Structure 1
């Protein structure tokens, strides 16, 4: 199968309205960092667990990119010591809303998500000053008073 045909099938699979809930062996996690070689460090919804590595399957490689803060659905790997899971699905906002309605979305991710949105809206209101320009204050009242 050529690369283009394979990409078409993978995109169709991800774009389909498959909003099925995670099974017992699957877990929703957040990407913390990319470690290279298609390995990603993820944060578990359980606060007691430490961060661990998951692998990206061959069908997603060079076709889709995930960044820090994205949510993915993983399936646990029993034989892995360092790599404890494999990415099954990359979750978007539609998945997050559907999982929240069905009370499947982890509470740990919900709280931080709303806090991040508040901070983002505050930052958009004010633009930072350009460091390449000098700040010159002109007082028009002082020049009028001297005349």
Structure 2
């Protein structure tokens, strides 16, 4: 199987399959990545340890701080105590929440994160409508990825600065004449 075909199947599996954790598996939140395909994660009870990313996900699927994963425990591990079996995205989290299997320790985080995201989307939509002047926009960009690592800048030119600059230039020309 070629690398492109493998990537296609892995991505399709991660995005389309809805999985509930078994008795041995647990849902964990990623805290960081110390490197070498290891991730530091925390359980809903607050226990922290390292988990590894399996070979099939490497260079195909990326996870970042704050993402949720389903982890298979590794019994013989001293430092690394689990392996990622599934990566959870928004739709998966909502599915697990509706099924009633979402951990109670993460429920407060889930609801506050969800409400914050909804507030952001509402304010962004209001700003877009104000800019475009059309509330019935044909294109809906709400499902596009938003890079949260970049700050948003708003550039505006004030007419006062340009008027002052023009006045100073005119005064300089009059004095020189």
Asked whether the two chains share a fold, i.e. TM above 0.5, the reply is: yes
- Relative to the length of structure 1, the TM-score reads 0.76
Query: Once the 2 structures are TM-superposed, how far is the Cα of residue 19 of structure 1 from its aligned partner?
Result: 1.8
Task: Please state if 1:4 is matched with 2:4.
Answer: yes
Query: Once the 2 structures are TM-superposed, how far is the Cα of residue 101 of structure 1 from its aligned partner?
Result: 1.4
- Distance change (3 Å), C-alpha of 1:118 and 1:11: closer
Task: Give distance in 2, aligned partners of 1:28 and 1:104.
Answer: 9
Please state which structure has a larger fraction of its residues in strand.
1
Gapped regions of structure 1 (runs ≥ 5): 134-147
| 1:41-52 pair list within 5 angstroms | 41-47=40-46, 49=47, 51-52=48-49
Count of residues in Structure 1 that have an aligned counterpart in Structure 2: 132
Task: Please state if 1:81 is matched with 2:101.
Answer: no
Residue in 1 aligned with 2:36? 37
Task: Give distance in 2, aligned partners of 1:119 and 1:100.
Answer: 17
SS in 2 for 1:108: helix
Q: Please, which of 66, 70, 73 is the counterpart of residue 67 of structure 2? A: 70
- Relative to the length of structure 2, the TM-score reads 0.64
SS in 1 for 2:87: strand
Over the aligned positions, Cα root-mean-square deviation in angstroms equals 2.8
Please state which structure has a larger fraction of its residues in helix.
2
Gapped regions of structure 2 (runs ≥ 5): 124-150, 157-177
